Structure 1
Amino acid sequence: MLTQDELAMLQAIRSSGSLSRAAAQLGKAPSTISHAARQLETRYDALLFDRRRYRLELTPAGRLLAEEAERLLTDMGRLNTRVRQIASGWEDRLTIVTDELMEFQTLLPVITDFDKLQSGVSLRITHEVLGGTWSALREGRADLVIGATNEPPAIPRLRWFELGVMDWVFAVAPRHPLASVAEPLPREAIQQYRAAVVADTSRGVSARTYGVHGGQEQLAVPSMASKIAAQRAGLAVGWLPRLRVAALLSRGELVEKMTADPREPNTLYVAWRGEHAGKGLDWWVERLREPRLMKRLINGLEVQ
Structure 2
Amino acid sequence: MKVIEAIIRETPTISFEFFPPKTVEQEAHLFEVLAELEKFKPDFASVTCGALGSNADKTIFWAKEIKKKFGIEPVAHLTCVSASREAMKKQLDELEKVGVSNVLALRGDPPIGETKFVPSKNGFSHACELVAFIKEQKPRFCVGVAGYPEGHIEAACLEDDIKHLKMKVEVGADYVITQLFFNNEDFFRFRDDCSEAGIRVPIIPGIMPITSLKQVKKMTQMCGAIIPQDLLNKLEQADGDKTAVIEIGVEHALFQARELITRGVHGLHFFVMNQSGPISKVFGQLEI
Determine if the TM-score, normalized by the shorter chain, exceeds 0.5.
Answer: no
Larger relative strand fraction:
1
Q: Given the two structures, how large is their TM-score scaled by the length of structure 1?
A: 0.23
1 or 2, which has the higher helix percentage? Answer: 2
Task: State which structure, 1 or 2, has the greater radius of gyration over its C-alpha atoms.
Answer: 1
Could you state the TM-score of these two structures normalised by the residue count of structure 2?
A: 0.24
